[in-house]
Amino acid sequence: NAGVTQTPKFQVLKTGQSMTLQCAQDMNHNSMYWYRQDPGMGLRLIYYSASEGTTDKGEVPNGYNVSRLNKREFSLRLESAAPSQTSVYFCASRGPDGYQPQHFGDGTRLSIL
C-alpha cells in the first residue's frame, strides 16, 4: 500500500539553489497539502490544492511555489533556497468526506547550507 510517496527523502542544498520536491498519492484524493515541520512548531501549512487545477496559499507560502500536475501529483518548488527553509517537508492528501483524516508521506529532510 503506497499511499503518499515523497521524493527525495533527504537533500542538501546550497543557498540560492533551486529544487522541486515531488509528491504522489494513489488514493484518488482530491485534496493535497504541503507542510513544513520545525522543532516545537508542529506542522505549518505552506500551500494546498483542494482539487486538480487549483492551488491556494497556506500559513507560510513565501519562498515556495507549487504545481498540481494532475490528480495524483503535487510538487513543491524552492526557487532560491535560504537557510531558513531548512526543515522537514511533508505532503498529505485527504478524501472528500467531512471528517476524513489527512494521509501523510514520510517526509523530505531538507538542509540548506
Partner 1 sequence: TQLLEQSPQFLSIQEGENLTVYCNSSSVFSSLQWYRQEPGEGPVLLVTVVTGGEVKKLKRLTFQFGDARKDSSLHITAAQPGDTGLYLCAGAQKVMAAGNKLTFGGGTRVLVKP
Judged by CB under 8 A, does residue 58 bind partner 1? yes
Q: Which parts of 15-54 interact with partner 1 (CB under 8 A)? A: 30-31, 33, 35, 40-45, 48-51
Judged by CB under 8 A, the stretch of 15-23, 67-75, 76-84, 86-94 that binds partner 1 is 86-94
Task: Decide: is 67 part of the binding site for partner 1 (CB under 8 A).
Answer: no
Find the shortest distance in angstroms from Cβ 13 to partner 1: 20
- Out of 15, 27, 59, 80, which residue is the one contacting partner 1 (CB under 8 A)? 59
Query: Could you tell me which residues come within 8 angstroms of residue 110 by beta carbon, excluding any fewer than 6 positions away?
Result: 10, 11, 12, 13, 19, 21, 85, 86, 87, 88, 89
91 and 33 in contact (C-beta within 8 Å)? yes
Tell the burial category of 103 from Cβ atoms under 10 Å away from its Cβ (0-12, 13-18, 19+).
Answer: middle
Cα–chain center distance at 77: 9
- Residue 107 binds to partner 1 (criterion: CB under 8 A): yes
Q: Which of 25, 38, 40 is nearest to 100 (CA)?
A: 25
Q: Which is nearer to partner 1, 17 or 43 (CB)?
A: 43
Q: Taking the complex as a whole, how short is the minimal distance between the CB of residue 49 and partner 1, in angstroms? A: 7
- For 58, other C-beta atoms within 10 Å of its C-beta total 17
Of residues 19 and 50, the one with the C-beta less far from partner 1: 50
